[in-house]
Amino acid sequence: MAQDLIGTVAAALGPGGADAVDLVEAAARVAWSTVVEPGDAVAGLLVQELGAERSFALVRAAVDDGPRNLLDACADRQVPGAESPGSFAQAMQVALERWGPRLGRVDVLTTLAAAGTVGARLVVPGTAAWPVGVDDLGPHAPVVLWTRSGRRASGPGLAVVGSRANTAAGAEATAEIASVAADAGCTVVSGGAYGIDATAHRVAVAAGTPTVAVLAGGIDQLYPTGNVELLRNVARQGTLLAESPPGTRPTRWRFLARNRLIAAISAATVVVEAGARSGALNTAHHAAQLGRPVFAVPGAFSSPASVGCHRLVAEGRAQIVVGPGDPVDAVVGPRDRSVRGRSTRRGGAPRSDEPLGGGRQDPEVVRVLDALGRRALGEQEIAVRSGMSTGAVADALALAELQGLVRHTGGGWARS
């Protein structure tokens, strides 16, 4: 690997990070991150079992020469699933078709330069800044992370999430919970969105305590635009965290994928307000799957903003928040304090394998729609933008066309 690339990787990691990890492996992880979408379990498994550099080289070769060497390497290493050669080979072929459109565009130096433009650091497993909680995601863990940080979080994380269209009562509850968390030395974690997320970050910033905003796009994509100044304040006082490479725009699909990171880096999650199909329910689901405590704030039974919270409690997937200190107690343990309405309930929420919420639309259709911009695009370009194989893109476009969501023009596909 070229020496200038290794030097650039070392600079992106910083002095402490560059000394702690294999720089060739770190560069290969960056290459992987430009090819796969967040949470790609097949890529995660290959990186974990074969190493980033070896697995990436085998995948590149497999696209041109066929997957035999890749499959043999997996069998020799006894990669989970390889004991069933037929199904494993089929899953690997599907993954290769998914990654193929992007493999020819990998440019690690350009990716690192884009991160450096906004002062972002590269973080990989083994460095001090790597949030070890994400390792609990197994093969769904990120291959790299990008950070913009003025102050590293030191206390345990409490995820405070909820509706973008919050009520006044929801904002008040968020402020109280975030304030108690700050006083207890917790790091407030959220997604930087409008509504509950923004309120939680603002309270933490005002309290002078670290806060983490997990972005759905690249580390250089501060979104939504109305929260740009807030996110810059988070970067100065706490940390902006992103999984996708710089330049990646946030999409609905990536918002759902980033929710697993919010849950994983936090010791507990509290949902303040959530509609029936709120993305905050997705975060709660991930937290429960990871065995993290989940809490939900009750509201008026007539409020659409509280339907999701009430479902969480009614179905035994979350504990009810009686007082603002309840979620904090789950993170730092019972404390001597006098907070009105303190609850004595403790412990984690029951785990459930059943997904929470979830749209009625096919997820691959969602990804294709996210990839389409203002101008018509060909199927190859849609595959690159969505991280899907060209075959999957064709199928999703056909379904979307039947639903009246897209139309084919002389220049390609466009939204209807």
Per-residue pLDDT of the chain (416 residues; tens, 9 = 90+): 577 889 999 999 988 888 889 999 999 999 999 999 999 999 999 999 999 999 999 999 998 889 999 999 999 999 999 999 999 999 999 999 999 999 989 999 999 999 999 999 999 999 999 999 999 999 999 999 999 998 777 789 999 999 999 999 999 999 999 999 999 999 999 999 999 999 999 999 998 889 999 999 999 999 999 999 999 999 999 999 999 999 999 998 899 999 999 999 999 999 999 998 888 999 999 999 999 999 999 999 889 999 999 999 999 999 999 999 999 999 988 765 443 333 333 333 333 333 333 334 678 888 888 898 778 899 999 999 999 988 888 878 878 887 788 888 878 999 88
In angstroms, the CA 115 to CA 218 distance is 9
Hey, which residues does 320 pair with through a beta bridge? Answer: 296
How far, in Å, CA of 376 to CA of 374, rounded? 7
Entry pTM: 0.84
Instruction: Please state, in angstroms and as integers, the Cα–Cα distance from residue 68 to each residue in 48, 75, 88, 178, 296, following that order.
Output: 20, 10, 12, 53, 50
Looking at residue 320, its pLDDT comes to: 96
- The per-residue pLDDT for 289 is 95
Burial class (CB in 10 A: 0-12, 13-18, 19+), 3: exposed
Q: What single string gives the DSSP state of each residue in 66-97? A: -SHHHHHHHHHTT-TTTTSHHHHHHHHHHHHH
Q: How much is the pLDDT for 404?
A: 82
Q: How far is CA 97 from CA 59, 93, 372, 406, in A?
A: 11, 6, 20, 23
Helix residue spans in 106-247 (DSSP H) = 108-117, 168-183, 196-207, 228-237
pLDDT value at residue 152: 76
Q: What is d(CA 160, CA 216) in angstroms, rounded to the nearest whole number?
A: 16
CA-to-CA distance for 1 and 246, rounded, in angstroms? 22
- In angstroms, the CA 416 to CA 397 distance is 12
What is the pLDDT at residue 361?
Answer: 61
The total of other beta-carbon atoms located within 10 Å of residue 217's CB is 21
pLDDT value for 360: 40
**Whether the Cβ atoms of residue 224 and residue 199 lie closer than 8 Å to each other:** no
